[in-house]
């Protein structure tokens, strides 16, 4: 496929930058390389939207009614991003190469960066920042699997993977190196760049020794699990009440 054909396939959802195969996520390096090529070959040109004018290389996504996607002004998605039927974009932003699954809510001022993969029935709450990962081409993008709830002002970058139906409380900030510590058992279990499915996660700190003394550094704490048998909305409300965290 040519670069233009690849971007068109990404826009239609026929191609993905990363896909779950045999239980693991596989990156499509050719698709990421095509996005980089697309930036190189495109020229800056004016884009007029009502009274607004922009100057950019990448066109805006269009035909939302035909796609079955609700877009609230001034939400913006770039061409080359896929939005599945039932997606709702409050005033928010979705970048090229991203994939957003059916019935997912991208809430007010949330951003979905380049190549991020967001599953079905996900809620990205207000102000969530999903980082983009374009280079290197072999690097895994940020992935949020089906049914997850990402609380207000959470930040996910550097290829973090959030497992299905996990709940992140507001202000959880995760990178590839931030410890995610399961404290529900007799001894802590530590993950990096990964939140296991059904986990309930809150912001935390832990002490670290420095030459100048002992200071607290950020981490995330797994404090419980969602009930696999409970309906999405009911489960979310019950979890937030049980662990005294807000949405």
Over residues 122-172, the pLDDT tens digits come to: 999 999 999 998 888 899 999 999 999 999 999 999 999 999 999 999 999
According to the model, what pLDDT value does residue 16 have?
97
User: pLDDT higher for 247 or 146?
Assistant: 146
Sequence ranges of the domains in the chain:
3-238
According to the model, what pLDDT value does residue 239 have?
63
According to the model, what pLDDT value does residue 52 have?
87
At residue 228 the predicted structure's pLDDT band, cuts being 50, 70 and 90, is low
> pLDDT for 42-101, tens place per residue?
999 999 988 889 999 999 999 999 999 999 999 999 999 999 999 999 999 999 999 999
For residue 246, pLDDT over 80 is answered with no
When pLDDT is averaged across residues 183-201 and rounded to a whole number, the result is: 96
Integer angstrom CA distances of residue 247 from 28, 53, 74, 75, 165: 34, 35, 24, 22, 15
| Cβ(206)–Cβ(221) below 8 Å | no
CA dist., res. 98 & res. 115, Å (int): 4
CA dist., res. 92 & res. 88, Å (int): 10
Retrieve residue 192's tokens.
């990096």
Closest CA to 166 of 186, 188, 182: 182
Retrieve residue 61's tokens.
């996504």
Q: What is the mean pLDDT of the chain?
A: 93
At the second CATH level, the architecture of 3-238 is 3 Solenoid (2.160)
At residue 234 the predicted structure's pLDDT band, cuts being 50, 70 and 90, is very low
According to the model, what pLDDT value does residue 3 have?
97
Say if strands 52-56 and 45-49 run parallel, antiparallel, or are unpaired: antiparallel
How large is the angle between the packed helices 3-12 and 29-41, nearest 10 degrees? Answer: 110
> pLDDT for 2-12, tens place per residue?
999 999 999 99
Exposure class string for 20-39: b at 16+ Cβ within 10 A, else e = eeeeeeebbeebbebbeebe
At residue 238 the predicted structure's pLDDT band, cuts being 50, 70 and 90, is low
For residue 108, pLDDT over 90 is answered with yes
- What share of the chain has pLDDT > 90, as a percent? 87
According to the model, what pLDDT value does residue 135 have?
87
The predicted model scores a pTM of: 0.92
Retrieve residue 200's tokens.
């309930």
According to the model, what pLDDT value does residue 104 have?
97
Identify the three-state secondary structure at position 210.
strand
């Amino acid at each position: 496929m040519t670069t233009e054909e690849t971007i068109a396939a990404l826009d239609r959802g026929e191609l993905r930058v990363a896909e779950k195969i045999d239980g693991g996520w596989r990156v499509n390096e050719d698709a990421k390389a095509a996005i980089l090529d697309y930036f190189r070959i495109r020229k800056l040109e004016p884009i007029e939207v009502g009274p607004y004018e922009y100057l950019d290389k990448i066109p805006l996504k269009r035909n939302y009614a035909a796609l079955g996607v609700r877009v609230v002004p001034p939400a913006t998605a770039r061409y080359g991003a896929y939005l599945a039927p039932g997606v709702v974009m409050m005033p928010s932003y979705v970048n090229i190469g991203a994939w957003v699954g059916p019935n997912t809510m991208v809430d007010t001022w949330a951003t979905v960066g380049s190549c991020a993969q967001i599953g079905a029935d996900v809620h990205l709450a207000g102000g969530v920042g999903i980082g983009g990962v374009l280079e290197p081409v072999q690097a895994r993008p940020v992935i949020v699997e089906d049914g997850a709830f990402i609380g207000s002002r959470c930040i996910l970058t550097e290829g973090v993977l959030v497992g299905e139906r996990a709940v992140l409380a507001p202000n959880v900030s995760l990178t590839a190196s931030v410890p995610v510590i399961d404290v529900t058992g007799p001894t802590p279990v530590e993950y990096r760049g990964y939140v296991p499915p059904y986990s309930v996660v809150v912001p935390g700190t832990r002490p670290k020794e420095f030459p100048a003394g002992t200071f607290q550094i950020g981490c995330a704490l797994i404090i419980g699990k969602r009930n696999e048998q409970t309906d999405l909305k009911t489960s979310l409300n019950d979890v937030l009440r049980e662990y005294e965290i807000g949405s």
